[in-house]
């Protein structure tokens, strides 16, 4: 008798060893048709695997995240089978599942995306055939013999330990694979090949260059279409494309990974920092600035020279080693240690917008999202253990206020002590309980990542969600029991004895360059009025009205608005269209009637139009909108 315990606690009994499919059918035929795999005592298995012992079983369906991954793994095999039919000389390597799809690395002649239609047609034939996907376990010598003419598979098999090796067969195609897979190829219902790129075998530039063909797959064509529509919207919002169109920033070959911000980009940059400074002053922070270049002995003391050296830019000055800072923390430690502190001085909240440099490989550079030179809005808070909870709560509330100004939602994740860590059990307990108490008082739900904290302390990561529903980890709050020890930081307590301060590292924007790029894509270039690089575009109807338009611009500039006068001898319709393409939130028309009456006509990007608006009223409403940093423009 085989006893199988299901997730709801119920038990199924079988007189003979059943397969996962048998168990599914014992629940219902409809449910069985939705199943694609199973989790047997925590391990994923094929649905057709035999269950020969009492166990806990969870059947994996098309609705489960794991089910989608299993199907996409099978889709990679379907694609490989189709490619071999079309390119018999191709040699397969590996084909894993990745985020949003799968790929397969193949040694074959170069192909372009023009070949995708043929490959997809062949894939459709394989899917329509509903070929059973069957697992076979063989001894290592048999696997080596089977793949004797496939050098990449041979190399992988030789690297495996002796014992049984699993192969998966569908029709004439057999692949070396751990599995699991869907029961037959018909489960791969909706798929699309996405792109092709080069990749070195085992990421080694000395080895063969392969063709990496990417694809994606879903159980439903609606889901595939929704994903493709999402990609198209993301393409339209691409920050590099919009940044070029709006003349915000650029990159040059002379400084790879180091962005150039143009005048309009700097207008946005300064608006971001002005808001940041305003909020931090109100929250009791002081602002500091530490040097860009610091001696090697500092980086040895902080541990960066030993553990982060390959990512640092260095120089020799006066026969001494220096490094450009990859982070702001050590300089902040030096500033705190410059004088003696009493417990009455704490907490000290020191914030810095510091320029840091980190050497990233050229292949991973990605617009503003991955750069070599960037600014971090670091803050280091030095405090007593009793102040952990209120200080963490203060940071959470500050983060909430700042992200809300951009219409960004977020969720929180708490990461606890990892296996390798420093500090005593008591220190970790105090630190972790302080974070949990602050989160409880803050009142938001959060996820716990057990054992995923930094070696020097637990942390809270803040994941923002943009307009497309994508999440980005920008903010973080980290408790540190390492740096105060390394830099021998102390304060005099109420007992007149020296004590180590507890320290918080925290960022909100994170990399300001990256946050800038996220905002470009979040707003699709149509920024709130307070953040827009040009807040008001002023359009004279003809050259005679240009002086009046310039006077309007001067008045608005004096009031604190960023303006731009369109002086071209173009039609009003073209000027309006170009202002809309440039995402200018307020488009002001200056005609003869407006000049005579001292008014303006205004239109916004969302279609609001008002004519004959008195200048004083316009200024008042617009300046109040900017002051309150509203997300929408109201005229």
Q: Is 235 left (phi over 0), alpha (psi -120 to 50) or beta?
A: alpha
Do 540 and 565 meet the contact criterion of CB atoms below 8 Å apart? yes
Q: Alpha-carbon distance 109 to 433, whole Å?
A: 58
∠ Cα 109 111 114 (to 5°): 155
Give the phi and the psi of residue 474 in degrees, each rounded to 5.
-110, -60
Cβ partners under 8 Å of residue 444, min gap 6: 396, 411, 412
User: Which of these, 203, 278, 118, 177, lies nearest to 626 by C-alpha position?
Assistant: 278
Nearest CA among 280, 490, 519, 304 for reference residue 408? 519
Concatenate the DSSP letters of all residues of 41-62 into one string: TTEEE-TT-B--S-EEEEEEET
In the 8-state DSSP scheme, what is residue 347? P
Query: Are 490 and 455 in contact, with CB atoms under 8 Å apart?
Result: no
- Is 422:481 a contact under the CB 8 Å cutoff? yes
User: What is the chain's Cα-based Rg?
Assistant: 31
Residues designated catalytic:
329, 358, 376, 378, 380, 459, 505
d(CA 398, CA 410): 13
Question: Whole-angstrom Cα distance, residue 427 to residue 447?
Answer: 22
Peptide bond into 347 cis (omega under 30): yes
User: Which residue matches tokens 């040009």?
Assistant: 534
Residue with tokens 């606890």: 416
How far is Cα 575 from Cα 209, in angstroms, rounded to an integer?
51
Bridge pairing between strands 409-415 and 446-449: parallel
């Amino acid at each position: 008798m085989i006893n199988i315990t299901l997730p709801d606690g119920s038990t199924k009994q079988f007189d003979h060893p059943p397969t996962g499919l048998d168990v599914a059918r014992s629940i219902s035929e409809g449910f069985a048709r939705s199943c694609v795999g199973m989790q047997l005592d925590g391990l994923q298995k094929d649905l057709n695997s035999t269950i020969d012992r009492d166990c806990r079983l969870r059947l994996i369906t098309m609705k489960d995240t794991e089910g989608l991954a299993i199907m996409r793994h099978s889709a990679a095999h379907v694609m490989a089978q189709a490619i071999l039919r079309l390119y018999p000389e191709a040699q397969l390597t590996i084909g894993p599942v990745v985020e949003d799809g799968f790929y397969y690395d193949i040694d074959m002649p170069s192909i372009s995306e023009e070949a995708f239609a043929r490959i997809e047609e062949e894939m459709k034939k394989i899917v329509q055939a509903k070929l059973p996907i069957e697992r076979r376990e063989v001894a290592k010598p048999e696997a080596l013999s089977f793949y004797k003419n496939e050098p990449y598979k041979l190399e992988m098999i030789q690297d495996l330990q002796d014992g049984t090796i699993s192969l998966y067969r569908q029709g004439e195609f057999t692949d070396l694979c751990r599995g699991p897979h869907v029961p037959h190829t018909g489960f791969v219902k909706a798929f699309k090949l996405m792109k092709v790129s080069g990749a070195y075998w085992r990421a080694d530039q000395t080895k063969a260059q392969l063709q990496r063909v990417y694809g994606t797959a879903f159980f439903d064509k609606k889901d595939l279409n929704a994903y493709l529509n999402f990609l198209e919207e993301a393409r339209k919002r691409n920050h590099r494309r919009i940044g070029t169109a709006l003349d915000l920033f650029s990159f040059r070959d002379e400084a790879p990974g180091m962005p150039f911000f143009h005048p309009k980009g700097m207008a946005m940059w300064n608006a971001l920092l002005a808001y940041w400074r305003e909020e931090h002053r109100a929250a009791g922070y002081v602002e500091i600035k530490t040097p860009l270049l610091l001696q090697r002995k500092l980086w040895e003391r902080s541990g960066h020279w030993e553990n982060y050296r390959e990512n640092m830019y260095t120089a020799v000055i006066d026969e001494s080693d220096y490094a450009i800072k990859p982070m702001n923390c050590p300089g902040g430690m030096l500033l705190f240690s410059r004088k003696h502190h009493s417990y009455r001085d704490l907490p000290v909240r020191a914030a810095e917008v510091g320029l840091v440099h980190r050497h990233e490989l050229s292949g991973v550079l990605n617009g503003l999202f991955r750069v070599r030179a960037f600014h971090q809005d670091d803050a280091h808070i030095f405090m007593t253990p009793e102040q952990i909870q209120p200080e963490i709560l203060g940071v959470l509330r500050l983060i909430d206020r700042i992200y809300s100004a951009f219409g960004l939602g977020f969720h929180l994740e708490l990461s606890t002590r990892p296996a390798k860590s420093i500090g005593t059990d008591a220190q970790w307990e105090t630190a972790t309980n302080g974070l949990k108490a602050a989160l409880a008082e803050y009142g938001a739900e959060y996820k716990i990542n057990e054992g995923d904290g930094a070696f020097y302390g637990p942390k809270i990561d803040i994941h923002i969600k943009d307009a497309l529903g994508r999440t980005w980890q920008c903010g973080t709050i980290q408790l540190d029991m390492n740096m105060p020890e390394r830099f021998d930081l102390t304060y005099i307590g109420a007992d007149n004895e020296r004590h180590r301060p507890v320290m918080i590292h925290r960022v909100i924007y994170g990399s300001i360059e990256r946050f800038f790029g996220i905002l470009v894509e979040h707003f699709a270039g149509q920024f709130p009025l307070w953040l827009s690089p040009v807040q008001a575009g002023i359009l004279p109807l003809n050259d005679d009205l240009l002086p009046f338009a310039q006077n309007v611009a001067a008045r608005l500039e004096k009031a604190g608005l960023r303006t731009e006068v369109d002086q071209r001898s173009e039609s009003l319709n073209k000027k309006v269209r170009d202002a809309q393409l440039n995402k200018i939130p307020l488009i002001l028309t200056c005609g003869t009637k407006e000049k005579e009456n001292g008014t303006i006509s205004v239109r916004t990007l969302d279609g609001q139009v008002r004519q004959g608006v008195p200048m004083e009223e316009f200024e008042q409403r617009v300046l109040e909108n900017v002051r309150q940093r509203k997300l929408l423009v109201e005229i």
